[in-house]
Structure 1
Amino acid sequence: MIRLLLNLLLAIAWAAVTGSVSLHNLLFGFALGALALFIVREPHGSGRYVGRPFAIAALALLFLKELVLSAWRVAMTVIRPRMDLKPGIFAFPLTVESDFEITLLANMITLTPGTLSVDVSDDRRTLFVHALDCSDPDATRRDIANGFERKIMEAFR
């Protein structure tokens, strides 16, 4: 948040120095400010300010892809004459640490058809997930860890 405010101040300073307060000039000043903050990132943070929107967009695209694929899988499972399901609950060891990251991961899992976040352990190191088909919980754990969890860490750390 501080970096955004600094970037806005740099854009306003750019407009003041150039003497033009047009939208194009403010946007150009904002872009120059973002570049300046990227170059001098050490005193003000990690430098993820510029790349964060792309990482968040990648997370959103992954979620949409998984949403469509899992909805398709659930629909195909339901219309089969013989449903060979093994529903169950498995423990997913969490790599994400903050409350925000855990909540986001749990919500993404719950919103994806076929899975439901049930509970988080008291030490916040394990997420319990119910799966419609829990015949291979290790593969599901790997999918969550290499998909949602990895993208959440890329976007918010």
Structure 2
Amino acid sequence: MRPTVTIALFALVWLAVSGSFTVPNLLLGIAAGALSLLLIRGHIQPDDRRLRPLKILSLLALFIKELALSAFKVAVLVARPKMALKPGIFAFPLTVDRDFEITLLANLITLTPGTLSVDVSADRTVLYVHAIDCSDPAGARRDIANGFERKILEAFR
């Protein structure tokens, strides 16, 4: 990402966090963002990651859809008089291999009701996921691979 875009994002986050949308506060956010980048400039490594805004919006739309569907499914599961749940942990083989992509996938899974990212293998090839109902781990793997993981690859590669 270009430094000016990063500084602008930092400034917008600063405005949102501070809750003060004034010109002096915007200038303070820009200065803080620029100073932050200046301090870490030696630790930033360029990468070949490209941003595709429409694909990112598609990923966001998928997340919102999955959030709503999962919340409904979990509500139905816990509202039943007899909960016939089979909680468990399954291994999800990762196609994504960059730290950012793995972190994003793990967070999207964790933010979706009924699932929780537990751990990543030391070689970063497997993500361990806990599911409230793990009666079909192959189906859950397929859903993640064809959903979040595919959208992440489309948006950031």
- Structure 1 length as normaliser, TM-score? 0.69
Question: Structure 2 CA distance, aligned partners of 1:76 and 1:85?
Answer: 12
Question: Structure 1 CA distance, aligned partners of 2:129 and 2:91?
Answer: 6
Question: Structure 1 CA distance, aligned partners of 2:142 and 2:69?
Answer: 16
- Which has the bigger relative contact order, CA under 8 A and spacing at least 6? 2
2:96 counterpart letter in structure 1: V
Identity %: 72
Question: Structure 2 CA distance, aligned partners of 1:128 and 1:64?
Answer: 23
Q: Which runs of 5+ in 2 are unaligned?
A: 6-47
Tell me which residue corresponds to 1:154: 154
Question: Structure 1 CA distance, aligned partners of 2:84 and 2:147?
Answer: 26
Tell me which residue corresponds to 1:23: none
1:65 paired to 2:50: no
Larger-gyration structure (1/2): 1
How far apart are 1:84 and its partner, in Å?
A: 0.7
2:108 counterpart letter in structure 1: M
Alignment of structure 1 residues 118-129 onto 2, 5 Å: 118-129=118-129
2:125 counterpart letter in structure 1: R
Alignment of structure 1 residues 1-157 onto 2, 5 Å: 1-2=1-2, 52-157=52-157
Question: Structure 2 CA distance, aligned partners of 1:53 and 1:110?
Answer: 23
How far apart are 1:129 and its partner, in Å?
A: 0.2
1:54 counterpart letter in structure 2: L
Tell me which residue corresponds to 1:27: none
Q: Deviations over 1:77-118 (max 9, x none)?
A: 000001111000000000001000000000000000000000
How large is the RMSD of aligned CA atoms in angstroms? Answer: 2.1
Question: Structure 2 CA distance, aligned partners of 1:86 and 1:138?
Answer: 14
1:116 counterpart letter in structure 2: L
Question: Structure 2 CA distance, aligned partners of 1:116 and 1:150?
Answer: 19
Question: Structure 1 CA distance, aligned partners of 2:147 and 2:53?
Answer: 18
Question: Structure 1 CA distance, aligned partners of 2:122 and 2:79?
Answer: 39
Question: Structure 1 CA distance, aligned partners of 2:73 and 2:89?
Answer: 19
2:145 counterpart letter in structure 1: A
Question: Structure 1 CA distance, aligned partners of 2:120 and 2:53?
Answer: 28
Look up the SS of the partner of 1:127 in the other structure. Answer: strand
TM superposition outliers: structure 1 runs of 4+ over 2 Å: none
1:88 counterpart letter in structure 2: G
